[in-house]
Every structure is written in structure tokens, then in C-alpha cells.
């Protein structure tokens, strides 16, 4: 065992007890998978030695203080090997039991099939889609470096390491390559990627699909590469992992050559070891090889002596945490103002008063919502925990804030240049949010949201407060043509559970939406903004409440009980123009601006009824995108004015008219629904308190 240091305090140990702990971890994985008939034991068995060394000798963690801000983060990117992580959480004292391991992959258990953050104590991120953990670990490392530079420059008080364990599959996915390239450029030497180089994937050996020189690729990214050729030598593992955690100006790849399924003689080194049980006979041989009775039940696979030994992590962690608390107190005495700012940051304390300074314009002024959004970000800089950047489009999406960029030389930088890496950008945002309590943002054109979709889904599943700023929101993009004109993207994003899709109508709604976004730190947001200038609409004091509710009456003629026109974004002013013309025909219409259907859907039935009465069956929805989802709101008697084909290259107004988004189309749809509902139309209840005209 290596010499004790402040960074790596020792844990009472012995070669015999360490060997038993590793054997127990391997036997548990094989036993649980065989008993259930499903699961992934092969990787958990092969990586038991390195996971034991990491959790017992190297990782800066305290099981009694799982939310310790200065702890190391461990991300299991190869999430199918969840038993590896659950076993270490059990052995080191995070609250799991052997029964929890036995119940893995069952409904309601603490040990789901893939790790889930906020579900199992000690799990830092939900993983499973390969490569995501690698990319989000880059975000964690970036956020850790940024926080340290912002609050404790020149001090190691907040310095810690982000560890990520990945397999061949993770490194084949493009998202990991995008993120690793950026990590090298940024010199993230607080990031260590342990690569399980076992040459096996589900279908075959990697020689059929993955013959590149991974080590050379990572060196080309700017990473340091360390080798471990003997994955069972615990002292050698410890020495290499300690070296990997050194600050050298570069992230580190630890290439760990393992044999999947070891020590099974039948399944070791084969694709069959990836998932499923080994069979009763082979399991008995594995147990015998590991020093257990061939028929040993689950609870006999971890002796009291072994558990007492591994639970030494509690004592080791308490020592580290206590030392850090003392260092924190010393720093707070020496730097009280910085300490107060850091505690406020960590406590989620911030002001949104700066939003009051954003210039909204007067009714009739024309301002692109992307421009107002940029003004919001600049106003909130330094006031709210916003931090982010763009995929090489900051000038166009207008999200760049004042100050310098984040870099290896300037980790306190106010703005992130992600490069043209949309998928990695979204996954990195998840890592920044997980590191917390940042509200990270990133921007690109809406049509490129498809590149980000897997990471967005995972952020929604984890309940992370990431903000995806999408501009150029419709075929109004114009001359760039159909490759850059989103059509299906808004509707597609709305299908993601837990994702708020917000499309403001004007500058007033942009600012109002940000008030709600900042108050909802556990929900990701897709903020959809216009490239073209949009008229600032008449507003009242109730506009803020209406936007917060997701939908409200923005304009109304008379009692508004003849017709409802629902619209979002750039189509709200078009809806008002149509309603104004219909008013000349004696039709009492209400225009419902619905910047976020998710927010509106979660309101009380009474509120929804006040805005969109059930008796008001003559309804039109208008949005410059696919209209499928709007039938939920207009019903079988309603009409939807939408874009159902790809666009064309031409000016924005020309393409909008060509694809049916124009005044005549809305008027025609209104007449159609009024005609179809004329025979059974009843008087609906108006909402005079929301009338704005």
C-alpha cells in the first residue's frame, strides 16, 4: 500500500482482507445475475479489483456525507455494470444492503438496472446510454474547475477529481469523442477516464469494429495516457490511480487491460460474459475459485471481517471530511466575503432584480426574441448562477456575455466555447448541472437540436436545470433553406417527458419566461427564439402571471366567447391580426398565447377553463411547425394552421406564405371552425380579468 498523504489518507488494510473484499465483489456479481436470470455481471467481476482500490484507497469521498461539495465524483459511464457500483456502495457504507443487491433490476428497488441519480445514494449520474457518462464527466470537471477559480483562486479547498469508468462501447460513441476533444483543449487535469480495455462488445470482439489506436487518439486530444496491464495487482492499481489524479495540465486516460467475466473459465473474455447468468455449474466453479463454498448463499459471500474491513471507508471518509471542514473554517475566517459569496452560491441564493433593467421596447417596436434573450443573459451575469456558451454560434444566437472565455489558463472565464459539438455540449451541460448549483445554458440553431436529443432526454430523466437556447426557430430562417429551417423540432421536443418547451411571443414574454425558468431548477428547458424581429405586443401587469402559467389570454374582443386562437412565438402577433380582422366581422375572439404548453397543462382545471373554456369549441391553433400536438387543444372541431412540409430557400416571409403561415390561412381556418361548430355552439365563460384590449 502506498504512503499516506493528506490527499490520499490510508485505510486500515491487509493483503488478505483486500483479496477477500475483491473476491466477495466478484462472487456477488456472478451470484446476483445468475439468481435473477438477467443483468450484467461480467464487467462488474472484471473491474472488482480497480473499483475496490478506487473506493477504499484513492477516491476522496465520505459515505456519511454523500453531498460533500469537495468530494471526488465517480461516474459509471458503462452503466450496465451497475452491480459494480452498487456493490461498492454497499461495501463502503452508503446504506445499501445485500438484500438491495439481490433486488436489483426489480420494480421499486434502490438498485435499478442502470444507475439513477437522486434514486440511490452515492450515484452521481444516471447512466446507461454509452458515452454519456464520459461527456457529462467533462462537464463536472469544467464546473468544478470554474467554481474553484471563482471562489477560492490559488487554493485547493474546492479542488477535487472527477473519475469516469468507461468501456469500449463508450469510446465508440461519438459523444465521448466530442467531449474528450474539448477536455484536452481545456486542459482538464482534474478529470480521469478509466478505460476498461477488454476487447469485447455485445456482438463480437472489438477487432471487428474498433481497431483504432485509442491511446494515440487520446494523446492527439491532448490527454496523458497511463497503462495498467495487470488489473489484479492492487498496489500497482493504487499507484497508477494516484498518479492519474496528479495535476499535470492534461486530463488522464488510464488504459486498464481486463478480461471480462474473470475468473470464470467458461465465459472469461467472451461476448457471452456481457449479460445473463453463467449457469449453476459455472457459478459453483466461480465461487470455488474465489474461495467460497460452491453452494454458498448470498449472505455467505461477504464475511463480517470483510465487511468491517471495507467499511473502513467510513472512518477514512470522516477523517477527510473533518480535515476539510477545518480548512474551510480557516479560509472563511481569512476570506469572509468570498466565503459568504460561496455559501450563497451553494445555497441557491440569488436575485432576479436585474431582469427589471432589460429593455422590452414599446408596443409596436420590433425586436427579435433572440436579442432580448441575449440582453437577459448579460443582465443576469454575476447575479444568477448562469454559466454556459454556444456551439460556435454565439454571435448569431446572441448569448455571449461580457468577459473572457473559459480556458485552461482562465478557468474563471465567463463564457464557454463548446466548438461545433452539439451532442457533447448538451451532455456537458448535464455534468455542469449535476456538479451544481449552476443553471447551465448552451445555444445553437433549433434545427440542430436533433444532434442533442439523447442528452436532452437524459437531462429530463434526471431533472436537471439545463437551459437549451435555440434560435432560428422556423422556416422564417429563410434563405439558408430547408436544411436549416426547423419544421418538426418543436413538436418533437414537446414529446420529451419533463422538458419544458418555451416559445415566447415577444420581448415581454422572454423576460417573464426567465423568471419562471430561474425559479424551476429541477426542470430542463428548451427556449425557442426567433431570428426575425417580432412586434412587441400590448401587455398588462397580468402578463407575467400568464406566462408563468404557460398560457393566457393575450388579446380579446368583446367577451371572447365565439372563437379561440391559440398561438406561440412569432405567430401570436399573426393571431392577433387575424382576431382584429374577425372583430370587424362581429366575431368575438380571444387570442391565447401559450408560450409553454407543459406549464399550461399543469395548471388547475379551473385556470385552464378560465383561459380555454370547454364550451368554446371553435378553436384555431397556429404555429410555424408540425401541428400534430395541437389537436389536443383544439379538439375534433378545431383547425390547425401549421407547417407540414420541409421549407424552401427564399426570404422568410416568402417561405412562411408558401407553407401556409399567413393571415388569410388563419382567417380561413377560423371561418371553417366557426361553421363546423355553429349548430351546437353555446356561450362560454369569458375571462375579463385577463382582457388586454
Q: Could you tell me which residues are annotated as the binding site for substrate?
A: 40, 274, 370, 396, 472, 480, 484, 531
Say which residue the cell 459568504 belongs to: 340
Rounded-to-integer distance, Cα 680 and Cα 652, Å = 40
Query: 590: which strand partners?
Result: 556, 564
Query: Is residue 474 within 8 Å of residue 534, measured between CB atoms?
Result: no
Residue 631, phi-psi category: left (phi > 0), alpha (psi -120 to 50), beta (remainder): alpha
422 is catalytic: yes
What is the spatial distance between Cα 585 and Cα 591, in angstroms, rounded to a whole number?
A: 16
Angle at 460 between CA 175 and CA 475, to 5 degrees: 75
| Dihedral angle sign, alpha carbons of residues 151, 155, 158, 160 | positive
Instruction: Using alpha carbons, select from 673, 693, 377, 663 the residue that is nearest to residue 553.
Output: 693
For 324-330, the CB contacts below 8 A with 24+ separation are 324/68, 324/70, 324/157, 327/157, 328/157
Grouping H, G, I as helix, E, B as strand and the rest as coil, residue 243 is helix
- Quote the CA–CA distance of 505 and 547 in Å, as a whole number: 10
Buried b (16+ CB within 10 A) or exposed e, 433-456: bbbbbbbbbbbbbbbbbebbbbbb
* Number of CB atoms found within 10 A of residue 351's CB: 10
205/598 Cα distance (integer angstroms):
45
Q: From residue 463, how far is each of 125, 467, 522, 532 by CA, in Å?
A: 11, 12, 5, 32
Q: In angstroms, rounded to a whole number, what is the distance separating the alpha carbons of residues 108 and 120?
A: 11
Q: Which residues contact 47 (CB under 8 A, 6 or more apart)?
A: 81, 84, 165, 196, 231, 256, 258
Which residues make beta-bridge pairs with 471? Answer: 445
Give CA–CA dist 149/146, Å, rounded.
Answer: 5
Q: Which residues are annotated as a binding site for thiamine diphosphate?
A: 80, 128-130, 169, 198, 274, 448
Among 178, 400, 422, 623, the active-site one is 422
* Residue 684 DSSP one-character state: P
The residue among 586, 533, 535, 540 whose CA lies nearest residue 559 is 586
User: What's the burial of 220, exposed, middle or buried (CB within 10 Å: 0-12/13-18/19+)?
Assistant: exposed
Binding-site annotation, residues for Mg(2+):
168, 198, 200
Q: What is the 3-state secondary structure (H, E, C) of 617-675?
A: CCEEEECCCCCHHHHHHHCCCCEEECCCCCCCCCCHHHHHHHCCCCHHHHHHHHHHHHH
Q: Quick check: 620 and 666 in contact, CB under 8 A?
A: yes
Contact 138, 424 (CB under 8 A): yes
* Three-state secondary structure call for residue 609: helix
Q: Residue 615 has which C-alpha cell?
A: 364550451
For the chain, the residue count is 693
Strands 552-556 vs 366-367: parallel, antiparallel or unpaired: unpaired
Question: Where in the sequence numbering do the catalytic residues fall?
Answer: 422
Amino acid at each position: 500500500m502506498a504512503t499516506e498523504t493528506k490527499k490520499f489518507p490510508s485505510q486500515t488494510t491487509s493483503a488478505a482482507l483486500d483479496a477477500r473484499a475483491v473476491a466477495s465483489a466478484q462472487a456477488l456479481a456472478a451470484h446476483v445475475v445468475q439468481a435473477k436470470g438477467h443483468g450484467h455481471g461480467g464487467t462488474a467481476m472484471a473491474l472488482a479489483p480497480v473499483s475496490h482500490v478506487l473506493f477504499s484507497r484513492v477516491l476522496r469521498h465520505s459515505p456519511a456525507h454523500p453531498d460533500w461539495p469537495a468530494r471526488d465524483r465517480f461516474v459509471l459511464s458503462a452503466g450496465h455494470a451497475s452491480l459494480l457500483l452498487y456493490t461498492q456502495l454497499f461495501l463502503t457504507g452508503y446504506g445499501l444492503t445485500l438484500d438491495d443487491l439481490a433486488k436489483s433490476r426489480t420494480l421499486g428497488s434502490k438498485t435499478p438496472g442502470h444507475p439513477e441519480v437522486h434514486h440511490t445514494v452515492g450515484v452521481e449520474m444516471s447512466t446507461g446510454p454509452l458515452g454519456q457518462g464520459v461527456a457529462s464527466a467533462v462537464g463536472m470537471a469544467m464546473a468544478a474547475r470554474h467554481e474553484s477559480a471563482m471562489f477560492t483562486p490559488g487554493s485547493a479547498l474546492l479542488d477535487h477529481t472527477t473519475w469516469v469508468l468507461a468501456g469500449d462501447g463508450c469510446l465508440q460513441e461519438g459523444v465521448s469523442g466530442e467531449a474528450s476533444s474539448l477536455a484536452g483543449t481545456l486542459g482538464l487535469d482534474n478529470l480521469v477516464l478509466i478505460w476498461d480495455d477488454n476487447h469485447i462488445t455485445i456482438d463480437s470482439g472489438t477487432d471487428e469494429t474498433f481497431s483504432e489506436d485509442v491511446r494515440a487518439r487520446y494523446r492527439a486530444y491532448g490527454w496523458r495516457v497511463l497503462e495498467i496491464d495487470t488489473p489484479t495487482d492492487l498496489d500497482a492499481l493504487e499507484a497508477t490511480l494516484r498518479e492519474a489524479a496528479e495535476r499535470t495540465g492534461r486530463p488522464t486516460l488510464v488504459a486498464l487491460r481486463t478480461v471480462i467475466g474473470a475468473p470464470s473459465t467458461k465465459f472469461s473474455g467472451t461476448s457471452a460474459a456481457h449479460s445473463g447468468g453463467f449457469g449453476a455449474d459455472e457459478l459453483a466453479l466461480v465461487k470455488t475459485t474465489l474461495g467460497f463454498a460452491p453452494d454458498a448463499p448470498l449472505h455467505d459471500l461477504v464475511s463480517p471481517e470483510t465487511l468491517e474491513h471495507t467499511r473502513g471507508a467510513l472512518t477514512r471518509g470522516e477523517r477527510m471530511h473533518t480535515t476539510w471542514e477545518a480548512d474551510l473554517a480557516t479560509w472563511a475566517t481569512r476570506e469572509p466575503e468570498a466565503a459568504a459569496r460561496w455559501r450563497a452560491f451553494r445555497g441557491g441564493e440569488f436575485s432576479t432584480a436585474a431582469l427589471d433593467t432589460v429593455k422590452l421596447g414599446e408596443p409596436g417596436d420590433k425586436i427579435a426574441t433572440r436579442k432580448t434573450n441575449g440582453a437577459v443573459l448579460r443582465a443576469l451575469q454575476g447575479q444568477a448562477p448562469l454559466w454556459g456558451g454556444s456551439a460556435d454560434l454565439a454571435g448569431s444566437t446572441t448569448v455571449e456575455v461580457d468577459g473572457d472565455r473559459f480556458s485552461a489558463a482562465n478557468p474563471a472565464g465567463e463564457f464557454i466555447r463548446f466548438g461545433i459539438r452539439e451532442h457533447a455540449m448538451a451532455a456537458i451541460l448535464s455534468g455542469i448541472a449535476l456538479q451544481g448549483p449552476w443553471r447551465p445554458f448552451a445555444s445553437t440553431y433549433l434545427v440542430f437540436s436533433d444532434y442533442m436529443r439523447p442528452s436532452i432526454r437524459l437531462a429530463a430523466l434526471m431533472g436537471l436545470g439545463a437551459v437549451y437556447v435555440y434560435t432560428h426557430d422556423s422556416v422564417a430562417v429563410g434563405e439558408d433553406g430547408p436544411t436549416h429551417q426547423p419544421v418538426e423540432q418543436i413538436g418533437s421536443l414537446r414529446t420529451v417527458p419533463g422538458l419544458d418547451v418555451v416559445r415566447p411571443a415577444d420581448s415581454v414574454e422572454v423576460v417573464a419566461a426567465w423568471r419562471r425558468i430561474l425559479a424551476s431548477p429541477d426542470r430542463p428547458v428548451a427556449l425557442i427564439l426567433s431570428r426575425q424581429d417580432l412586434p412587441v405586443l400590448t401587455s398588462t401587469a397580468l402578463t407575467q402571471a400568464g406566462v408563468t402559467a404557460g398560457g393566457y389570454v393575450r388579446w380579446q374582443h368583446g367577451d371572447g366567447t365565439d372563437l379561440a386562437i391559440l398561438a406561440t412565438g412569432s405567430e401570436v402577433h399573426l393571431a392577433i391580426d387575424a382576431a382584429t380582422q374577425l372583430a370587424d366581422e362581429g366575431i368575438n375572439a380571444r387570442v391565447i398565447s401559450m408560450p409553454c404548453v407543459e406549464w399550461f397543462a399543469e395548471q388547475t382545471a379551473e385556470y385552464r377553463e378560465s383561459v380555454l373554456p370547454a364550451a368554446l369549441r371553435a378553436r384555431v391553433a397556429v404555429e410555424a411547425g408540425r401541428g400534430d400536438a395541437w389537436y389536443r387543444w383544439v379538439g375534433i372541431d378545431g383547425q390547425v394552421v401549421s407547417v407540414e412540409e420541409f421549407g424552401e430557400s427564399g426570404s422568410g416571409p416568402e417561405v412562411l406564405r408558401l407553407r401556409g403561415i399567413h393571415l388569410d390561412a388563419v382567417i380561413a381556418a377560423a371561418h371553417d371552425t366557426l361553421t363546423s361548430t355553429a349548430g351546437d355552439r353555446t356561450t362560454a365563460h369569458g375571462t375579463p380579468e385577463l382582457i388586454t384590449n
